[in-house]
Amino acid sequence: MKNIRIIIPVMLGLMICSFILGCGNVTGGGGGGGGATTRLLGISVTPEGFGTVEVSPEGTITAEGRKYANGTIVTITAESDGVHPFDHWGGDLSTLEPNPATIEMKSNLDITASFQHINVALNVSVTPEGAGTIEPWGGTFLDYTNVLLTAEPANSDYVFKYWIIDGSNEGSTTPKTITMTTTRDVTAVFGRSLSYVSKSGNDANDGSSANPFLTIQHGLDIAAAGGTVSVEAGLYTENLVWPTAESNIALRGESSSTTTIDGSGIVDTCIKIVNVAPDQTITVEGFTIEKGYANGSSGGGIRLNSDNVTLLLNDTIIYKNKAFNGNGGGLAVYMYSSNGSTAIVRDCVFSSNEVTNGRGGGIMNGGSYSDNSDLQVSDCTFEYNSASDYGGAVGSYSNSLNISACDIHSNKVTSGGGGGILLSNGGDVKNCVIFNNTAISGSGGGIFDAYNGPVTNLINCTLVSNEAKGSGVSAGKGGGVRTGGSYKTKIINCIVWGNSAEASDPDVWANGFPTIRYSDISSFPDDPITDGTATTDADPLFVNFPPAFVGDLELQGGSPVKSSGTDEAVVPTTDYTGASRTPPYSMGAFEKNE
């Protein structure tokens, strides 16, 4: 019995000692048995990135966490990122613990530092003012909240164009989700489907017919994709830059005789269409475009320099524009990088445009032989245009050129050739009346067909009273036509009559074995040709010769070239005036006038 009394106190003492020395961490729960010699500390931050936690001592950092000897005293301090204040501790540490907090590592612990979100502002605006709304219309949000933005036009006159978010164009998707990482500035940009411009307008107006804009440029900038800018009669001294983002905009003047874009305010092109969005069609019609000046570049009146863009130029007068050390006094059509532009030009007048140290006084198509731009011209007049180096009226490097039913007269080139037209890479010229053009020190007073590229087809054209001046190897020859090399020129159903050349071959300089068929040539070429089927040198009996006007070159009733041409597939079925041709077709630009 005495021994039992001794054992019980001893056992009780051992149990109390064991509890005091080995029961675990008094600061928090966690894993790890009382017999462990090391403890793990895991630290995390929420929301991630809002702050950091400083740990002292750092311990041994492992993939599992920070490793400490059992019983180590550790201080943890939550530090804000400067924006988001610390809120509380969590995990294995009481939310009521202070910051900094001290813990004793007597078990494995996972502790979270929680930081607060802050309020941030959503600032919204609409341009033009009143053009639409944004939902939600601004407000305050906790940061990192996702907000769904929706742009709504005010009425059918407006179309949503794009978002400007924090100064950057963020596209045209609506609705659009943004994350409120900080204060955000959002503008919804709307465009008008139809804008009006008037000399009595104001660019602060809404662009309606009752409240028009003052400048054409503002009208273009406000226009929505597929929109129209309608310009009232007047003189607008502007140098326009076409919008690069919006597509298929139409610019329409009241009429070419009353609505003028004058580029003389600064030394620059009247209308630049440069590197605009591809795969679109741009329309310009009903204007006089005058006095633009491309200094060291091309296209004094209009410069089309984009990829896969089509320009429809209709019912427009291109007058007294210039290019210096460039090409295309009136219009230049170039590709921007890899895919060519297309210009379709109808019912226009190119008059008194000029190129110095360049080519294509009226129009230049293509900047090099690799340029695959496309020029299609019909029912136009080219008069009094000039170039210092090839192509007084029209010059083309591209292999895609089609000129039909055009009046090309009184143009000149100082050197090289092609007082009327330069074809450097083939093309089609049909139903054109080409007269009184001059190559001052060159060849091809009417047309200069160069050596390069595919076939050139001259079909049902009338070339009269053109002149090639000068002498030497290549000057003063082919007053009407200088043909290209390697059998590439085909002259069919044409009248080439009464032209002059100071050196030789007043009508046709047959360079490179051209084909001349069913044509009236007053002075046949000295050099050989490939095919001379049904050619004649008979007087075609024009209404009036030498001609002062295009109508003088219609045919008299008894003309021997009436019904003397061919009606093969390459021949157009209408004539210069648009009248139908009836077999057997006549030679020249005009069909029978009985």
Structure confidence by residue, pLDDT tens digits, 291-302: 999 999 999 999
Phi (first) and psi of residue 13, to 5 degrees: -65, -40
pLDDT value, residue 35 = 58
CB 197 within 8 A of CB 230: yes
Of residues 499, 394, 491, the one with CA closest to residue 436: 499
Cα 125 to Cα 383: distance, rounded to the nearest angstrom = 51
CA distances to 88, 139, 227, 398, 454 from 342, rounded to whole Å, are: 67, 48, 20, 11, 19
Strand partners, 442: 416
Of residues 393, 366, 271, 259, the one with CA closest to residue 316: 259
CB 515 within 8 A of CB 487: yes
DSSP string, 365-400: E-SSTT---EEEEES-EEES-EEEES-SSEEE-SSE
Report the relative pairing of strands 101-105 and 72-80 from DSSP bridges: antiparallel
Contacts with 517 (C-beta within 8 Å, 6 or more apart), sequence order:
490, 491, 492, 493, 531, 532, 533, 534, 535, 566
Cα 136 to Cα 139: distance, rounded to the nearest angstrom = 8
Report the relative pairing of strands 72-80 and 51-56 from DSSP bridges: antiparallel
Structure confidence by residue, pLDDT tens digits, 306-330: 989 999 999 999 999 999 999 999 9
Report the relative pairing of strands 184-197 and 158-165 from DSSP bridges: antiparallel
Cα 117 to Cα 441: distance, rounded to the nearest angstrom = 81
**Residue ranges for the chain with pLDDT beneath 50:** 1-34
Please tell me the total number of residues recorded for the chain in this structure: 594
Structure confidence by residue, pLDDT tens digits, 335-372: 776 678 899 999 999 999 999 999 999 999 987 655 67
Where are the extended beta strands (E) located within 286-432?
288-290, 293-295, 302-305, 309-314, 317-319, 322-324, 331-334, 342-346, 349-351, 354-356, 363-365, 374-378, 381-383, 386-389, 394-396, 400-404, 407-409, 412-417, 421-423, 427-430
H or E segment to which residue 3 belongs: helix 2-22
CB 251 within 8 A of CB 224: no
Residue keyed to tokens 């329309």: 283
Tell me the one-letter amino acid at 151: A
Cα 435 to Cα 430: distance, rounded to the nearest angstrom = 14
Contacts with 513 (C-beta within 8 Å, 6 or more apart), sequence order:
486, 487, 527, 528, 529, 530
Phi-psi region of 30 (alpha: psi -120 to 50; beta: other; left: phi over 0): left
Side-by-side strand order, sheet with 72-80 = 51-56, 72-80, 101-105
| Count of alpha carbons within 13 angstroms of residue 276, beta-carbon side | 26
* Domain segments of the chain as ranges: 37-115, 119-189
Output the pTM of the full model. Answer: 0.82
Q: What angle do CA 80, 82, 83 make, to 5 degrees?
A: 95
Of residues 41, 51, 119, 141, the one with CA closest to residue 87: 51
Tell me the one-letter amino acid at 491: I
Cα 304 to Cα 307: distance, rounded to the nearest angstrom = 9
Cα 457 to Cα 446: distance, rounded to the nearest angstrom = 14
Q: Taking the CB of residue 541, how many other CB atoms lie within 10 A of it?
A: 14
Structure confidence by residue, pLDDT tens digits, 221-278: 999 999 999 999 999 999 999 999 888 999 999 999 999 999 998 889 999 999 999 9
